[in-house]
Structure 1
Amino acid sequence: MNYCIHRSTSLLLLLLCAACGNGTPAQPETAPSQPELRTAPVLREEIYEHISGMGVIRARQEVELSAEISGRVAALHHDIGDEVRTGDVIVELESESRLIALEKKKAQFERARAQLDKSDRDKNKAEKLFKDGILSDTDHDSATLGAAVSSADLQLARAELRAAEKEYRDTKITAPYSGTIALRAVETGHFVTPGQCLLTLVDLSGVTIVINVAERDISKISLTSPASVSIDSLPGETFSGTVKTIARKADDTSRSFPVEVWVDNKDRRILPGMIARVSITSARPEPQLTIPNSAVASVHGETIVRIMLDGAPVMRAVELGAVLGERVIVRSGLEEGQQVVLPDTM
Structure 2
Amino acid sequence: MQLASSTSLRHAMNRLKWIIPVLIGSGVVIAVLAHNKRTLQERRSQNVLQTIIPVVAEPARWDTLARSLEMVGSILPNNIVQVASEANGRIVACNIELGRSVRQGDVLYVLDDELRRAQLMTAQANFEKAKSDSARYWFLKQQGSATDAQWEQVLLQYRLAEAQLIQARRALNDTRIKAPISGVITAKRVDVGTMVNPGTVVCEIVDASKLKMLLNVPEQDVLSLAVGDPVEVQCDALPGSMFHGRITAIAPKASDAHTFPVEVTITPPYGQLKAGMFARVRFRGVKPLVGLVIPRDAVLGSLRDARVFVVDSATNTARERRIRCGAERNGYVVVLEGLSAGERVIVSGNNIVTDGTPIVLNTQKVEQ
- Please indicate the TM-score interval, normalised by the length of the shorter structure: 0.5 to 0.7
Q: In the alignment, which residue of structure 2 is the partner of 1:163?
A: 167
SS at structure 1 position matched to 2:125: helix
SS at structure 2 position matched to 1:145: helix
In the alignment, the residues of structure 2 paired with residue 72 and residue 270 of structure 1 have an alpha-carbon distance, to the nearest angstrom, of: 39
In the alignment, the residues of structure 2 paired with residue 53 and residue 250 of structure 1 have an alpha-carbon distance, to the nearest angstrom, of: 17
TM-score when normalising by structure 1: 0.64
The answer to whether residue 103 in structure 2 is matched with residue 85 in structure 1 is yes
- What is the correspondence of 1:154-303 to structure 2 with a 5 Å cutoff? 154-252=158-256, 254-264=257-267, 269-282=272-285, 285-286=287-288
Native 8 Å contact 2:328 2:334 kept in 1: no
SS at structure 2 position matched to 1:180: strand
Cα 1:261–1:320 change in 2 (3 A) is closer
Letter in 2 for 1:173: I
Native 8 Å contact 1:204 1:265 kept in 2: no
Q: In the alignment, which residue of structure 2 is the partner of 1:97?
A: 115
Query: Shift in Å at residue 287 of structure 1?
Result: 5.7
In the alignment, the residues of structure 2 paired with residue 46 and residue 179 of structure 1 have an alpha-carbon distance, to the nearest angstrom, of: 45
In the alignment, the residues of structure 2 paired with residue 73 and residue 182 of structure 1 have an alpha-carbon distance, to the nearest angstrom, of: 20
Native 8 Å contact 1:69 1:170 kept in 2: yes
TM-score when normalising by structure 2: 0.60
SS at structure 1 position matched to 2:90: strand
Query: Shift in Å at residue 332 of structure 1?
Result: 4.9
SS at structure 1 position matched to 2:80: strand
Q: In the alignment, which residue of structure 2 is the partner of 1:54?
A: 72
Q: In the alignment, which residue of structure 1 is the partner of 2:305?
A: none
Counting aligned pairs with the same residue, the percent is 28
In the alignment, the residues of structure 2 paired with residue 90 and residue 268 of structure 1 have an alpha-carbon distance, to the nearest angstrom, of: 29
In the alignment, the residues of structure 2 paired with residue 265 and residue 61 of structure 1 have an alpha-carbon distance, to the nearest angstrom, of: 16
Instruction: Kindly report the root-mean-square deviation, in angstroms, between the aligned alpha carbons of the 2 structures.
Output: 3.3
Native 8 Å contact 2:246 2:267 kept in 1: no
Q: In the alignment, which residue of structure 2 is the partner of 1:12?
A: none
In the alignment, the residues of structure 1 paired with residue 270 and residue 69 of structure 2 have an alpha-carbon distance, to the nearest angstrom, of: 27
In the alignment, the residues of structure 2 paired with residue 124 and residue 103 of structure 1 have an alpha-carbon distance, to the nearest angstrom, of: 32
Q: In the alignment, which residue of structure 2 is the partner of 1:76?
A: 94
Letter in 1 for 2:288: E
* Structure 2 stretches lacking a partner, 5+ long: 1-60, 301-325, 336-340, 342-368
